[in-house]
Chains A and B, each alone.
Chain A
Amino acid sequence: MPASTVHAGIALVVAAALLGAAYDRRALALLAVVLVFPELDAIPGWWLPGAHRAMFHTLVLAGLAAAAIVWDTRHRETSWLRERGGDWAVRVAWTGLVVHVFAHVLLDYAHLSGINLVYPIGDQFFRLEGELVYSTADGFVQTFVDLGGEEGQEVGGTTIDLGQQGSTEDVHVATPADPEAGGGIDQDTERRVPIAVDGWQLYAILLGLFTVGAKRLQGEPPADTHEE
């Protein structure tokens, strides 16, 4: 994973952008829980090799959560969310989902061995990495998807590399909770807790802190305007 601190940086910007009138300390605290929760799949990783970045880092879970919110707020007679926290709760729930998908799962998709996109429907880690360049000599060149590469799986005679990394059988993404592959709680190993690696990760953290700081400094809007 990029460190939770990096997820948090992007998450703070997205949260400030989407919470609107629901932006308060309580909402941010709830979003922090949403943000950290997927990392708990490192714990089943003690017994189930490869569970980290698969079990909770899957778009299937996000889809189910979205369906649950839609069902609760639109199709039920009395919405549980609305009953508990009114419009505030609905806004926070949707923002939490967007934060989870974009600031956590998709950001992990572009990092290390990526994520197990549709686990448990399909068990394959995917990683997004490459670049898209326009060159006057070569035209558009992209290296995200490789059609006809040497590695990758056979699809109807041609090979396609969408950034497959292997299944939970082969892929282990190290976390401080489970630094080494294989089951069991590791003893006497080095555990590394990254806060930030490379300039851009530090930038993401500072971007989030800047956003929150700027929102605190901002003056109150005049009475005749209202925040959505």
Chain B
Amino acid sequence: MRLRSPERTRRGFGVGRTLWPSIALPGRTPNRRRRNDSGRFTLRRAYWRQSTGTGMAPTLVVAAVAALLAAALLGPAFDRRSVAVVVLAGVLPDLDAVVSLAIHGATNAAFHTLLIPGTAALAVYWDTTRREHSWLHQRYGWWGIRTAWVAIAAYAVAGIGMDLFGPAGANVLYPLHDRFYAVSGELIYSTRDGWIQTYATLGGENLLSVGSTGTTATHHVATWVNPTPGTGIESGVERRATIVGAGWHVILVVTAAAVLAIRFRRQPEDGTTEVTA
């Protein structure tokens, strides 16, 4: 992950223009644009490449994706309670930051393993199809089964997936196989160079390989709970909670809020008659 340079942190601290106490406004990234030969502004490639934000996907953004999945997949089971369950399932993996206080490197590993949603999916499948009387169905009916499946999807796709495709990476097979994976690259067709694909490497020693950021021993994902590598609660360190880390994060959060507002405003009885947007 990209650590903030000390210079930038210092700017935010005191020298930055302070609007009111505790809200500091550091300067924008320098050299955001440059003029090319024809006098037009073009963006530096390096600048827009960093628009993924830093570190792990902010929990608010994960919650937004989980909420979108809830609205898209719950169908008739969509209500306040089921949305709450699904969003909670989506952000649950981020709690492994707390585990990292006791187990070295557990952030993005302990709960970011696909073994958890995999086991949960097997359990729901077994309960609903292989048992004579499904516990889930008896207790919560059809609503419960649908909500359980969407919650599992949100855990895997929003909770784990966003970090797997982000700069911090996710240790998706922990503890069976201790390695963080971070998918990054590009897929572009160029009329000059043909297809360019850098997400994964095919062939070679491994059949398929994607980027890795290390193992629990070498890779620490800084979080508000555990900002520095190692276990235990430190004191006197700066803790940073990223609320949104990039422009597209804001758009995702706004989109999820709008979609939820529209869905909750709709009356269940009115069929497809009207949408107030």
Contacts and interface: CB of A to CB of B under 8 A. Distances in A.
Interface of A: 10, 13-14, 16-18, 20-22, 66, 73, 87-88, 90-91, 94-95, 97-98, 102-103, 106-107, 109-113, 127-151, 161, 165-166, 170-172, 181-182, 190-200, 202-203, 206-207, 210-211, 214-215, 218, 221-222, 225-228
A77 B254 CA distance: 35
Contacts of B26: 141, 143
A132 B244 contact: yes
B223 to A, nearest CB: 12
Interface string B243-263: 111111011101100110011
A221 B75 contact: yes
B271 interface: yes
A55 B39 CA distance: 22
A202 B251 contact: no
Contact of A228 (B21, B43, B185, B268): B268
A211 B69 contact: yes
**Secondary structure of the B side of the interface?**
mixed
A135 B239 contact: yes
B167 to A, nearest CB: 7
B148 interface: no
Interface of B: 9, 12-13, 17, 19, 21-29, 32-33, 38-43, 48-49, 51-54, 65, 68-69, 71-73, 75-78, 142, 146, 149, 153, 157, 161-162, 164-167, 182-193, 199, 224, 238-248, 250-252, 254-255, 258-259, 262-263, 266-268, 270-275, 277
A73 B276 CA distance: 11
A127 B47 CA distance: 13
Nearest to B143: A225
A135 B247 contact: no
Nearest to B47: A129
A90 B69 contact: no
A86 B142 CA distance: 30
Given A141-B23, A172-B40, A218-B146, 4 more contacts: A87-B273, A106-B251, A144-B250, A149-B28
Given A133-B240, A139-B22, A141-B24, A199 B182 contact: yes
18 contacts: A14-B72, A14-B259, A17-B68, A98-B277, A110-B246, A132-B242, A136-B238, A137-B9, A141-B12, A171-B40, A182-B38, A197-B187, A197-B188, A199-B164, A200-B162, A203-B165, A210-B153, A227-B75
A174 to B, nearest CB: 9
B277 to A, nearest CB: 5
A166 B250 CA distance: 22
B135 to A, nearest CB: 18
A170 B40 contact: yes
A203 B161 contact: yes
A20 B238 contact: no
B40 A181 contact: yes
A113 B124 CA distance: 47
Given A113-B43, A138-B12, A139-B23, A10 B75 contact: no
Given A102-B255, A172-B40, A181-B40, A135 B248 contact: no
Contacts of B29: 143
The 8 closest A-B pairs by CB, nearest first: A110-B247, A139-B22, A17-B71, A16-B72, A199-B165, A203-B165, A225-B76, A87-B272
Contacts of B186: 194, 196-198
Given A138-B12, A141-B12, A181-B40, A196 B240 contact: no
B28 A161 contact: yes
Given A109-B247, A143-B26, A199 B272 contact: no
A139 B25 CA distance: 10
Contacts of A165: 33, 41
Given A110-B248, A198-B184, A88 B272 contact: yes
Contact of A18 (B53, B240, B262): B262
Contacts of A17: 68, 71-72, 259, 263
B30 to A, nearest CB: 9
Contact of A113 (B41, B72, B252, B273): B41
Given A17-B68, A134-B243, A94 B275 contact: yes
Given A182-B38, A193-B189, A194-B188, A95 B25 contact: no
